[in-house]
Amino acid sequence: MNLQLETRRAEEVHIVDIRGRVTIGPTNDLLSQRLRELVDAGAKKILINLADTIQVDSSAISTLVRGFVSLSRTGGDLKLLAPQGRVREVLMVTHLLGTIPAFDDEAKALASFR
């Protein structure tokens, strides 16, 4: 399955919907580029929707952490939405769910940015 990224906004929150696999190579490069573009354009609040993400590897984890740290340093925030199945397992094993706030409900995730 190819990676599909869609970016939408809910007020000042940029939501990145990820569909497919984010693994080393072109798919991770695409996610990294999208996050950089958002940050460079001044985005301070980013919600990564993982509901339709079926696989992440260490490169994807690194990209998420880099985005989280980059935004944190500039007073911004990155949060995760609805990690499922194996993706949730990977995030738990790497303790990322204890570091980056994650939500199962989009409305609650958006409210947490206020």
Tell me the C-alpha distance between 65 and 76, whole Å. 13
pLDDT band for position 1 (cuts 50, 70, 90)? low
Phi-psi region of 60 (alpha: psi -120 to 50; beta: other; left: phi over 0): alpha
Relative orientation angle of helices 26-40 and 58-73, to the nearest 10 degrees: 10
Look at residue 77 and give its three-state secondary structure. strand
| Number of domain units in the chain | 1
Q: Which two tokens stand for residue 20?
A: 């497919």
> What are the tens digits of pLDDT across the range 66-91?
999 999 999 999 999 999 999 999 99
**CA-angle at 110, arms to 106 and 111, nearest 5°:** 115
- Of the pLDDT bands very low, low, confident and very high (cuts 50, 70, 90), residue 2 is confident
Query: pLDDT: is 83 or 2 the higher one?
Result: 83
When pLDDT is cut at 50, 70 and 90, the band that residue 54 belongs to is very high
Handedness of CA 4, 18, 65, 85 (dihedral sign): negative
pTM of the model: 0.96
CATH number of domain containing 12 = 3.30.750.24
- Per cent of the chain over pLDDT 90 is 98
Domain of 61 in residue numbering reads as 4-112
Q: Answer whether 87's CB lies under 8 Å from 52's CB.
A: no
> With bands split at pLDDT 50, 70 and 90, how would you rate the model's confidence at 104?
very high
Find out whether 49 and 82 touch, Cβ atoms under 8 Å.
Answer: yes
